Amino acid sequence: MIIARTKVELKDTLKNLSNRPGKLALIPTMGNLHDGHLSLIKLAKLKSSKTITTIFINPLQFGNNEDFDKYPKTHELDIEKLEKEQCDVLFMPVNKDEVFPPPGKIKNIDSGMLGRDLCGKIRPGHFDGVLTVVNRMFELINPDIAIFGAKDYQQQILIKKMAKSLYPNLELLTAPIIRSQSGLALSSRNNYLSEQELKLASSLYKSLQQSVISYNNKINTEEIIKDAQKFLKSKNLIFDYFELRDSQLNTVKDSNFTGKKVFLASATINKTRLIDNIEF
Ligand code: PAF
């Protein structure tokens, strides 16, 4: 695997790679790679002949009171894992100047109303930061395919919306959520939790599963959400939101709506915010 640490190294590497036939798939990450990330790389290998992973902890998507400084960094282990998956290129910029132009010249992307809803209500500016860095990675790498995880449901919808207008030829793929045995969706932030907290955290998925069962049994959505809230509270999870939306994240107003739906939830345990969802 070739590791590019600067924009110039990236450009040279991509130029050499362009001599090889086939599609280039990009997997953007912030590192601390777990089986969820590795599933994205496996999917990339199935769909393309060249893969590039990025590891960059993007300062623009963290609020002032968030975990930018303590976000887990496990670069050596990450490199080992990527080599095992036979990823072709890793772009792991030495600093943010290797990603962004000087302040004032950065092309900021506005995530719009949807970017200020759900997680965006709790993390103002977060999705503008995500879209700004993802757009920048698309500009620098010009992939044919880009792959994101379904755990960050709102993120992948917003990226799809952005790409539809800015990169109409780019194919965006969403890979299924990978869970631990307890059902907890894998996330780098799970590293912040103790054994006991990890057990409690799996209640988030249980509440989503129960909600789908209740919905299919024609229980009223308001009641389902109240029950989920009560259950999460009993497990010491502080409820942020729990909502039923359609697959584009519009509110589902009609109880007879037959299209694809998703229950989305966010809850905090000992200052660590967890998100999860089930599409059905
Ligand atoms: O999902 C993530 O890890 C990040 O939000 C992303 C897409 C790599 C952008 O920094």
To test the pocket of ligand 1, the residue of 62, 128, 133 to mutate (highest count of ligand atoms within 8 Å of its CB) is 133
Of ligand 1's atoms, which has the minimum distance to the CA of residue 54?
Answer: 8
Same domain, 270 and 235: yes
- Complete DSSP assignment for 169-203: T-EEEEEPPPB-TTSPBP-GGGGGS-HHHHHHHTH
Give the integer Cα–Cα distance in Å for 171 and 42.
Answer: 16
What is the value of pTM for the model shown?
0.97
Among candidate residues 141, 175, 209, the one where a domain is terminated: 175
Same domain, 81 and 127: yes
As given in the structure block, the two tokens for residue 80 are 């080992």
Give the integer Cα–Cα distance in Å for 280 and 278.
Answer: 6
Q: What is the pLDDT along the chain (280 residues), one digit of tens a residue?
A: 999 999 999 999 999 999 999 999 999 999 999 999 999 999 999 999 999 999 999 999 999 999 999 999 999 999 999 999 999 999 999 999 999 999 899 999 999 999 999 999 999 999 999 999 999 999 999 999 999 999 999 999 999 999 999 999 999 999 999 999 999 999 999 999 999 999 999 999 999 999 999 999 999 999 999 999 999 999 999 989 999 999 999 999 888 899 999 999 999 999 999 999 999 9
Q: Is 89 in the pocket of ligand 1 (CB under 6 A)?
A: no
Domain count, the chain: 2
Catalytic residue, chosen from 34, 37, 75, 126, is: 37
- In CATH, what number is assigned to the domain containing residue 19? 3.40.50.620
Assess contact for 90 and 128: CB atoms under 8 A.
no
- The answer to whether residue 34 is catalytic is no
Same domain, 204 and 65: no
